[in-house]
Structure 1
Amino acid sequence: MLNNLDFNRWCTKQKLSEEAIALISRIRTSEPSRRVGGGRKNVVGAYPSKRMGVSIQFESHKVELPGIYLKEHDFNVEEYYDQPPAIKLTYNSRKDRVVGFYHTPDYFVL
């Protein structure tokens, strides 16, 4: 996990806007926006991340948990967060109307 100085250097290297830096900073300091829930076919759990120093939630032991393993051991991944705040997705419908909805990503990765 990056300390504040390394995070600022990373942001400069990525040439991020102030708006992007503010959003990422909010994600970095927030708790997960929701607790994962299990369905009939889901296996939920929490992976104790050494990299992040917290437990990372997952809703699937066949897709999300292997993804956590990859992020945990990938040297190109600086940090990763589960259940970041919802983002608004918008698109133009077939009738050329703007449609928008909020979606909570499973993970946010730096």
Structure 2
Amino acid sequence: MPSFEFVLLVIIGCGIVTWLTRVIPFILLKKFELPISFVEFLSFVPVVIMSALWFSGIFVQHLGHFPSVNVENLLASIPTVISAIISKNLLVIVAVGIISLALIRLIV
């Protein structure tokens, strides 16, 4: 069984590595300027991440078959997307998504 010191060193080491990987990019970006084309490319990252999360929530994978549609999530995403287009406020989008999914699950 590992000793207390070993476990403590592993926890501290993991914390330092996690902290450094999150802080070093900010330190480097203070000293260097990114090219405009790279900054424009990075502006698409949030849209791509949200699209991937959205599609993975709507479609259910079945090995060897086509994916099926999760109807509850699809129906809940309709008012959520509409609120995203109208408000462009993340708090409103999340609230509408949660409320619409809760109502759909309550009805069905």
**TM-score > 0.5, shorter chain as reference:** no
Structure holding more strand per residue: 1
Structure (1 or 2) with the larger CA radius of gyration: 2
Give TM-score scaled by structure 2 length: 0.23
What TM-score results when the alignment is normalised by the length of structure 1?
A: 0.22
Higher relative contact order (CA 8 A, sep 6+): 1
